[in-house]
Amino acid sequence: MGEMKDRMLAGDWFIADDPELGEAVMRCAKLLAAFNAIEVPAPAERRAILGQLFGAMGDGVIVRPPFRCDVGWNIGIGARSFVNFGGIFLDTAPITIGADVQIGPNVQLLAPHHELDTERRRAGWEKALPITIGDNVWLGGGVIVCPGVTIGENTVVGAGSVVTKDLPAGVLAVGNPARVIRELD
């Protein structure tokens, strides 16, 4: 992908049903279909598919199916990180996950940001903002991380929380919207 990928990475507005993007989405869908269809246990086969799908992947990464994403190549995940069942990573902007991260079941990392103007939204305009998850973060089950959010290292986000703004390192955050309730040792 040329110009479309550059626009996406720059955080510029783009048309979501662009044919160039459609090709990348189809490639991703085929890899995900193979990944999600493999019978357990088959870690070597799954890892090989993730190696083709993700832009970067550290050693010891485990992703449990079912897993969904948009294009895959915008996802970087650090060593020894774990993604539980039902992960949805909408990666039309980079999603960077540090090392030793624990991601609970049904977590959603949502980089797309849709146009608020009704006519532009109807025409299919969107942009995406990067998501960054620091090392040793734990995202509880059902957490939703919104576009443009950075979560600092060693932070824990409680189950069901919706993270709409950056969270600092070393805190416990919960709620909708997620708010810091205390620092962690």
Element of type H or E holding 162:
strand 162-163
- CB of 87 closer than 8 Å to CB of 63: yes
Annotated catalytic residue: which of 27, 80, 114, 179?
114
Does the active-site annotation cover 114? yes
Share of the chain above pLDDT 70, in %: 98
Which tokens hold the place of 169?
Answer: 């390192």
pLDDT score, position 2: 72
Burial class (CB in 10 A: 0-12, 13-18, 19+), 37: exposed
Span 18-26, average pLDDT: 87
Domains of the chain listed by start with CATH number:
3-183 (2.160.10.10)
Q: What is the mean pLDDT of the chain?
A: 93
Specify the pTM.
0.93
pLDDT score, position 33: 96
Reduced to 3 states (helix: H, G, I; strand: E, B; else coil), residue 104 is coil
Reduced to 3 states (helix: H, G, I; strand: E, B; else coil), residue 77 is strand
pLDDT score, position 1: 57
